[in-house]
Structure 1
Amino acid sequence: MEGQMRSNTATLNDLIEVLEDSIGFLELASDRSTSPDGLEVLDRIRRSNVSIISDLKAEVSLNGGEPISEGSWLGSFRHNYVELKAMLVDDPEASYLGALAEQEDRIVEAFREATLAASDRVRELAGGYLPEMEQLRRQLQDVLRLQIN
């Protein structure tokens, strides 16, 4: 039982971490976005991620675990890379949105993987949020398509 709880905590913390990584990209993209539709989608994604992070942290705490409090070092590296890359391209907004889209792909993949977890509760949580994550990713992809055209 203790091993399962540790595994649940690790899986939930992985989900928290990937969502926290996304918050940094959302802030970058929001700060540089000029599209009202884009800003609306970015705000919707940010609010959703913050809410899910809160729920997942509560679940980790309920299981006696310690919720992670920030994103990953790899997320920080990606964030800095995107900032540098944006300085070198003609359309920095597209660069930020593209990086955010890649991060949203990582989120959806992490939630899909969590639906395969050994714990019924982790599968239930991840499966419950997965449709929302997929919908938000589609909305972001729509914004990117509009921006390209």
Structure 2
Amino acid sequence: MRRRCDRNRKRSRRRAIYCPEHGCYLDSVSQKYPIYADRPEQLREQGMSKKTATMVLTDHTAVRTPLWIEAFWCGECEEVRWYLVKKTDRRTFELSSVPRGLWERMEGAIDPFGNPSVSEFTRKQAKRLNQKVFRDYNS
């Protein structure tokens, strides 16, 4: 007969998300950023019919899709990578690279590629450290 503590295993388990390149377990280093759809074409990409997608968006201005973007740490690569995550079954997930257009449909995240309306010169100048300014703040 099994012990009571072995029978009652209702605790949550770690998500089984593995690196597409190496097959090692990925650790999440960010929150989930859900993706929203506000046009029927975006819902049709998820596999919804044209009629259903149109009817859903007439009732709501935006709909949350079953996809999200999340950052993961890979131990083999030793770097953080952003992936588009889709939950297929109860315990399985599909990972793919994030297309450029999805960053605009996400809520609450900052685009890692930077603001496209900012020039390269302005971006470099903002990163440049001015030692005199830091000395003034430290004194």
TM range (shorter): under 0.3
Normalised by the length of structure 1, the TM-score is: 0.24
More strand by share: 2
More helix by share: 1
If asked which structure has higher relative contact order (CA below 8 Å, sep 6+), I would say 1
Query: Which structure would you say has the larger Rg?
Result: 2
Normalised by the length of structure 2, the TM-score is: 0.25
